[in-house]
Every structure is written in C-alpha cells, then in structure tokens.
Amino acid sequence: MVQNTDNPLLKTFSTPYGTPPFDEIKPEHFIPAIETSIDIARSNIEQIKANTDAPNFVNTIEALETSSEDLGSIAGIYYNLLSVIGSDDYNALAEQIGPITSLFSSEVSMDAQLFERIKAVYDDRKNHNYSDVEKTLLEDSYDGFVRSGALLSTQDQEKLKELNQKSSTLSPEFSNNLTKSSAEFELRITNQDDLSGIPDTAIESAKQAASEKGYENEWLFTLDFPSYIPLITYADNRDIREKVWQAFSNRAYGGEYDNSDTLKKVVKLRSEKMKLMGYKCYSDFVLEDRMAKTTDTVLAFLERLKTTYKPAAEKDLADLKAFAKETANIEELKPWDVGYLAEKRKVSLFNFSEEELRPYFPLDKVLKGTFEHFSKLFNLDFKERNDIQTWNKDVPAFEVTDKTSGDVFGILYADFYIRENKRSGAWKASFRDHGLFKGETPPAIIEIVCNFPKATKDRPSLLSFNDVETLFHELGHALHALIGRTKYHSTSGTNVLWDFVELPAQLQENWLYEPETLALVSEHYETGKQIPADLIEKLRASKNYMSGWGGLRQVSLATLDMAYHCTQDIEVNDIIEFEDKAIKDCTFFPRLGGPSSTSFGHIFAGGYAAGYYSYKWAEVLDADAFEAFLEGGLYNQKTAKKYREMILEKGGSVDPSVLYHNFRGRDADPEALFRREGLLDKSA
C-alpha cells in the first residue's frame, strides 16, 4: 500500500499476516482509497505497455496479474464489509464504487496496446514449456480480454463500457432491497397459544428478540432463516404459517424495496451485452467458460433430473395429501402446509424429528468438532488469534496451519450470528487469495459467514442439523481457498470453473450422516452426552424423505435461472407471468404468493446467473467422490491425501474434469446422486 497518508486502506497493514485493521477502517476511507489504487494500477499497466522488451510471460502476463493488487485488496474489503455490516453508509457507497471500478476494468480489458502484448505471448505459447499454472493463467488472461470486449470495434467497446457501468450498481441494489424488505416484516405474537408446536429454542429466541426491540410480553419472529424455518415447519396455527409464508414469498416484491425494476434492468442489460458480444444469449456466454460448456448441455442435464425427481415428488405429495386429510382434516393442501406436514409425516414414519438433535449441537462444541473433522481429514490445525482485528466483537479469527510442517495456510474469520442489516444466508468470501502480493506469497485471508441464532440467557447458541451442514459446507469452501495454493491468485483456491466450485463444499455434508463424525460435533448442552445411537439411525433412515420434492425444487430454481438467461432479446414485462411459464412443469400448486425471482439473490446479486444448475452438477460429483471415502474408510489417509493433493491443492490451475478424473481414476458416475438419494430404481 501507499505510505504517508492518514487513510488506513492506503498504508501497509502492520498487522499479523497483513490482515485488515478493521478498527481503523471507516466508510469514508473507501472512495479516496479506490481512486488512489486505480491510479497506481494505471501506472503499473502503463509500465507494461512501455516496456521495450519483447512481450513474454513475466513482463506481460505476470506483470498484469499483479498490477491491480492494491485495488483488489481494497475493493475486497469493501464488498465483504458491505455484506456483513450492510449499513446505509456502506450501501450508499456501492452507487459510487461500482461505476468507478467497472469503468477502470473496462478501460484495461479494452486497451488495444495491452491486448496486443497479451496476444503476442498467447500466440507464441506452443514454443514454451509452461507449467500447468502458467498455461492456465496465460489462457485465462487472453480469454478474459476477449470475453471483456478486446476484439470489439471502438464504438462497440464504448457501448460495452456504458452497459458495464450501468450493471455495476444493480447487484448491490438488488441485495440491499432484499435485506431491507425482509427486515420490514415482524410477526409479534402476544397470545401464548399461538406458539403451539414451535420448538422451545425458537420460542426463547423470539422472546429475546422481542425484548431487544422493547416489546414486552411478546414473541418476535422475522424472515431470518433461524426464525422463519421453525415457524413454517412447526407452528400448529395454520393462519400464522400462511401469514409468514406470504411475507417470505413476497420479499422485495411491491413496496419501497421492490426488486422488480432492478431485475428487469439486470436481465435487459445482460441480453444487450451478449448481443453486442456476438452471443445468442447470456447462458451461451457464461457456459462457454464452465464444465458444462453449452446451454443445451445444461438444459439436457436439468431435463434428466426432472424425469427422476418429478415422479418421486408426485408420490411425495400424494402421500402428504393423504396424511393431511387423515390426521389434520386438511382437504386442500397449501404451500404453507408442506413443510409442517412433511415434518409430522416424517415423525410418523421414522419416529424422528430433527429438532431432537438441536440440544446436541451447541455452537462451541460443533465448531470444535468441525475443526477436529478437518484436522483428521487434511492434517490441519486451527488456532484462535485474539490479536487479529475483526469487524464485530462476536467474530473470531483462526490461524490455519499444517499440523506436521507448521506451514501457515491462512487466516479464517468466522461470522456466525444474525445481525441487523447483515445479508441473509451463508457464504465464503476472500479478503486475500493465495498468490503473488507485493512480490511475496503471503497466507490467504478467508471468511465464512452464517446466520445462526444467538445464545439466550438460558441456553447457548443451539444449531439445527441443517445449520451444522451449513457450517461443514462453508468450511469446505474455506478449506479449498486455504489449501489451494498456486503462485497466482487467479488460479488459487476457489478460483475454479463455477460448476466445480461447489464440490469441496457439498462433499463435506456427507460426513454428517456418519456416527464417527457426529461423535466429534455433538454433545448435549446440559448433560454432555453424545447423540444416542438409535437417534443417529433414525437420522440416517429419514435422510432421503421427500428427496424427490427437494430435488424438483432445485431443478425448478435452476430452470427459472436458465429461462432468464437462455433467450435472445428477452423481454420480461410481467415477472409472475414469466416465472409461472418458466417453471410450469416443476410446480404442483397454483400461485398463491409473490414470485421467487425478486428474492433470487443467487442469480441477480451473486455469481450464479446461468449457473444455479451447478449445485446439482456438483452434487453428482460429490456423491461419486464420497463413495471413494466410503470404500476406503471415512478418514482413510490415503484417500484424503489423494483428494487434498489432486483436488484442493490444485485450485484452478488445471481443468477440473482432469482433476476429478485423476482423483477417481475415471469420470464421475452420473447415477451416484440418485443412488445416494434412494431414487435409482425410480429413474427413467
């Protein structure tokens, strides 16, 4: 960073491992820091162009890779804080930072003189014996410029710059609207009878939430998942379930924070950009740089899934309708009944409810056991560092090392709890990936973010089984980022093809159905006992209940995603009409609420546009990969070492199809997913 300034973002961070000094960083520091770092990057790029030596890998490709490292660091800090703090001042900055950085990015990628040097190195690549990581960086650099408009005419480049600038503010706007709209809803319960069926832990959290808002003798429920899920799953009061379901389905639809216009702008701009770039549609552009490669491949994949999931889902629903009529006197099932009655039906079939597990999952024990799990698998050590600043007092920082060598992989922040203005959901993000930075290769700086319930005065933070799966999932991403070290940040960690990125995360969820792993992460918060063996067997027996229904829901969302992105000159006039037409083959209820599109942050505020299918794509891979661990032993070191070395450590330096084949000795078996879900003999 630049020295001699009062702006902490422009100083060299004198902190452990160069972690951001969060205590010093204020919103007003970002704009001047972004502008200064762009000036530095421009100067670095001018030096590349002014070099009189013939273009080569080091003086062009590697020099370009490190030319904007200050900007990347500062922008990364800003966007991560935007998600976890989300205050009005941070949201307001997005309207300025987005266009500034977008314009600079377009300026670089459309620089004809710079591209000429890159093309010269690329065209000469066969005359050099590049390593895998060098070859990948070279190819990605060239393709990145082409895909950013380097081959367009000057006139079209200017048009693309304009479209990019317009697009740059829309994702933060979509996310902010969703957060604000969700926060508007409050369900204040004053009659204790209306709490019937809701788990005690959720009731206690609701009581505490009400007290914090100054609502005495009330229980406050919101649309945050730890509040919403227990309500929609367990509340006996059908009217309350309908009310909260309606609010959830209408997030960011109507009212002050309506995402309808934002969504339409995003779709229109993406379509215009692709037309300018010469692609038929946005999905063709995106998938060209994915394992799937083509729109037709993804549509065929989703159709194959649908032929299995839809008949299974129909059977799930028929069984549920019969159960509803018999036990609850419900003649006509509604969407707000499905989760509730599915839970009741599961209890009747398996004598088991996942809420029985919650007392065994206090967060502290779960986290300790989760670290032990990853230690057993990958020989890692996690040490809390109290000398590293974080953005909130409840966020710890851990140093992650190799237990044998002591080699430091990086710093891991863990932001677990719900907070006002914090983005909903769970994710992994990077403050700094592995790779060259200031001429060195420092450890990575990674975060995982969840939205778990806070402790109450009577109980610690108790996680649901789904919460524990979420923790394993996000740490799977984080460990990929920490272990996947290459020389360049563009090829390190999770910087892989998008439909491969979920494999290391989803794979980890499989261990949580195994007694050996559950013993690591469970301990009753009162008695200290682990989960009884019979309860584990009930969990395993009920694992695939409603798997057809759940699978079809994922196919529905992926189909909706593709509908927005695989049509040329797309026009979205009526969002509900568009959505209903897109997913008509994946739904069983008439529309009774708002569209899911206006809250579909994955594709309109995240990186999953024309990529939501990748969750299921990666599920095929993770189901097949876990079979290798089942064959050799859950913590078999030979298998784990092979997976670590051939998948995790390689990052994005090698084509993922090659990496996976090297690990398994073959391509993934597409039937592995249906085998795991107990649907194989129902497949078409």
**Is residue 356 among the annotated active site residues?**
no
Own/partner pairs, 655-664, CB within 8 angstroms, 24+ separation: 655/497, 656/291, 656/496, 656/497, 656/500, 656/503, 657/291, 660/500, 660/503, 660/621, 660/625, 663/625, 663/628, 664/624, 664/625, 664/628
Please, what is the Cα angle at 443 between 442 and 445, to 5 degrees? 120
Own/partner pairs, 349-353, CB within 8 angstroms, 24+ separation: 349/542, 349/545, 350/538, 350/541, 350/542, 350/545, 351/538, 352/535, 352/538, 352/539, 352/541, 352/542
Distance CA 656, CA 652 (A): 7
164, 102 in Cβ contact below 8 A? yes
Distance CA 466, CA 581 (A): 31
248, 223 in Cβ contact below 8 A? yes
Which residues, 6 or more positions from 116, have their beta carbon under 8 angstroms from its beta carbon?
none
- Which amino acid is it at 2? V
Which residue is catalytic, options 272, 343, 447, 474?
Answer: 474
Q: What is the CA radius of gyration of the chain?
A: 25
272, 539 in Cβ contact below 8 A? no
314, 306 in Cβ contact below 8 A? no
Distance CA 146, CA 550 (A): 39
Annotated catalytic sites, by residue? Answer: 474
